[in-house]
């Protein structure tokens, strides 16, 4: 994902590089770039500035003893960052009140999907963080009520943490059940659902499994040795799209189907949005409607629209209306 790296981002990176370098000593630019998840060129730019940054001293001008310094030769010749003098700031900044609230909420969101020991650590870390007073006048802007324990997820996170293989029964989108043995790689969330990216030992290839379709996961004795391919974090929905559907939907619903990568075509008279979505199969159109029931209308092709109509009729047959 390419985001604009803003001025505050750059300031924060400078503030964070100083304690990192103080702790770790001379570090290659590429390593800093990967640790802080930024382009190496941004690190180089900022470090070149850091090497001359400082405070106006008693004479109100920048004197050598009031300036940061770096080993310029190491930077220019070996792309290595070595801070040789530090002024004014030397430790990690506190978390702001919003950051603190977001971290605590994040830990509470994680807890129900972690194995027991890690869950306890998540909760105690949240408590510890709440003891650190952020800036005065702080407001806890966000919070989260912990969900009940997600047993299916805890079995999987535990297998990942232990580096073990996993077995489960899987019912695919066409209702076919199979028994699978996999090496679990990554659990990720997309459009409200959880997905497991795993190396399937039966198929000898990486596959994505929807957690809600997976039954009775159990950790096996066998060790997991595969590492995720670089694109493991993506790849839930969009391989080999077969058809393009036209949908009319509310603006709120457009947000909710963001994972289907809708392309907006324009607005309708009633203030809704017209969009195109690539689908694997006409029946997948139902998932668009499920994302925001009543606020997504699949208009074309007819096969997709009919699939939604039939789906609604099947559901209605359970109600005497």
Partner 1 sequence: MTNAPHVRRVPSEERVFSLVLALVASPQGLTKSELLSTVYGYAERYDPGKPDPAIERQFERDKTQVRQLGIPIETIDSPLESGNNQLTRYRISKDRLQLPEEVRFSSSELTLLKLASLAWTDGSLGAESRWATMKLTSLGANLDVRHLGIAPRLGMLEPAAPSLQLAIDEGRVARFDYLLPGRDQPLERRVAPLRLHRAEGRWHLIAHDIERRADRVFLLSRIASEVRVESTTFDPALSDGVDAVLDQLLRLRDAQRATVSVRRGSVAEARLESRGTARPTRLDAEDRTLVEIGTLDLHAFACELAGYGDEARVLEPESLRSEVARILERIRKQHVEGSSQ
| Binding status of residue 53 toward partner 1 by CB under 8 A | yes
| Binding status of residue 302 toward partner 1 by CB under 8 A | yes
Which strand (E) or helix (H) includes residue 214?
strand 214-223
CA distance 221 to 268: 57
CA 244 to chain CA centroid, Å, is 27
* Residues 146-205 interacting with partner 1 (rule: CB under 8 A): 147-152, 157, 160-161, 171, 177, 184-190, 192
| Segment lying near partner 1 (by CB under 8 A), choices 73-81, 201-209, 235-243, 284-292 | 284-292
| Binding status of residue 89 toward partner 1 by CB under 8 A | yes
Q: Considering only residues 40, 44, 79, 98, which one is a binding residue for partner 1 as defined by CB under 8 A?
A: 98
Q: What's the Cα-to-Cα distance from 73 to each of 64, 67, 105, 183, 254, rounded to whole Å?
A: 18, 18, 45, 46, 53
| Binding status of residue 12 toward partner 1 by CB under 8 A | yes
CA distance 212 to 108: 21
| Binding status of residue 33 toward partner 1 by CB under 8 A | no
| Binding status of residue 122 toward partner 1 by CB under 8 A | yes
Q: Considering only residues 28, 33, 36, 44, which one is a binding residue for partner 1 as defined by CB under 8 A?
A: 36
> What does the block give as tokens for 298?
């699949």
DSSP letter assigned to residue 67: B
| Binding status of residue 225 toward partner 1 by CB under 8 A | no
| Binding status of residue 92 toward partner 1 by CB under 8 A | yes
Buried b (16+ CB within 10 A) or exposed e, 223-253: ebeeeeeeebeebbbeeebebebbbbbbeeb
| Binding status of residue 6 toward partner 1 by CB under 8 A | yes
- Shortest CB 279 distance to partner 1, Å: 15
Q: Considering only residues 65, 84, 178, 215, which one is a binding residue for partner 1 as defined by CB under 8 A?
A: 215
| Binding status of residue 265 toward partner 1 by CB under 8 A | no
| Binding status of residue 75 toward partner 1 by CB under 8 A | no
CA distance 251 to 267: 10
| Binding status of residue 273 toward partner 1 by CB under 8 A | no
| Binding status of residue 86 toward partner 1 by CB under 8 A | no
Which one, 49 or 77, has the nearer CB to partner 1? Answer: 49
The three-point CA angle 239-241-244 to 5° equals 150
CA distance 104 to 132: 12
Which one, 132 or 205, has the nearer CB to partner 1? Answer: 132
- Shortest CB 154 distance to partner 1, Å: 11
- Shortest CB 282 distance to partner 1, Å: 12
CA distance 91 to 186: 33
The count of residues interacting with partner 1 (CB under 8 A) is: 134
- Shortest CB 73 distance to partner 1, Å: 20
> What does the block give as tokens for 299?
């208009």
CA distance 48 to 76: 10
> What does the block give as tokens for 153?
């997820």
| Segment lying near partner 1 (by CB under 8 A), choices 73-81, 144-152, 200-208, 275-283 | 144-152
């Amino acid at each position: 994902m390419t985001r604009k790296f803003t001025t505050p981002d750059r300031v924060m990176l400078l503030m964070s590089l100083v304690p990192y370098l103080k702790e770790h000593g001379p570090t290659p630019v590429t390593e800093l770039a990967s640790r802080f998840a930024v382009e190496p060129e941004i690190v180089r730019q900022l470090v070149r500035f850091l090497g001359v940054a400082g405070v106006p001293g008693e004479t109100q001008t920048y004197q050598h003893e009031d300036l940061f310094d770096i080993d310029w030769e190491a930077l220019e010749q070996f792309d290595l960052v070595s801070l040789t003098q530090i002024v004014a700031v030397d430790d990690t900044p506190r978390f702001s009140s919003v950051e603190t609230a977001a971290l605590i909420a994040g830990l509470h969101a994680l807890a129900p999907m972690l194995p027991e020991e890690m869950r306890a650590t998540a909760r105690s870390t949240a408590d510890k963080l709440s003891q650190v007073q952020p800036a005065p006048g702080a407001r806890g802007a966000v919070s989260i009520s912990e969900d009940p324990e997600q047993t299916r997820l805890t079995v999987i996170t535990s297998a990942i943490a232990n580096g073990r293989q996993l077995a489960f029964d899987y019912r695919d989108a066409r209702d076919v059940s199979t028994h699978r043995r996999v090496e679990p790689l990554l659990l990720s969330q997309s459009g409200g659902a959880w997905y497991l990216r795993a190396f399937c030992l039966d198929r000898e290839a990486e596959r994505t499994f929807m957690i809600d379709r997976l039954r009775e996961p159990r950790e096996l004795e066998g060790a997991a040795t595969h590492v995720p391919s670089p694109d493991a974090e993506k790849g839930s929905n969009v391989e080999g799209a077969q058809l393009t559907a036209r949908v009319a939907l509310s603006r709120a619903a457009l947000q909710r189907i963001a994972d289907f990568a809708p392309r907006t075509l324009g607005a309708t008279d009633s203030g809704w949005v017209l969009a195109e979505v690539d689908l694997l199969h006409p029946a997948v159109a139902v998932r668009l409607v499920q994302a925001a029931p009543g606020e997504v209308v699949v208009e074309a092709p007819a096969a997709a629209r009919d699939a939604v109509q039939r789906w609604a009729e099947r559901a209605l047959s359970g109600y005497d209306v």
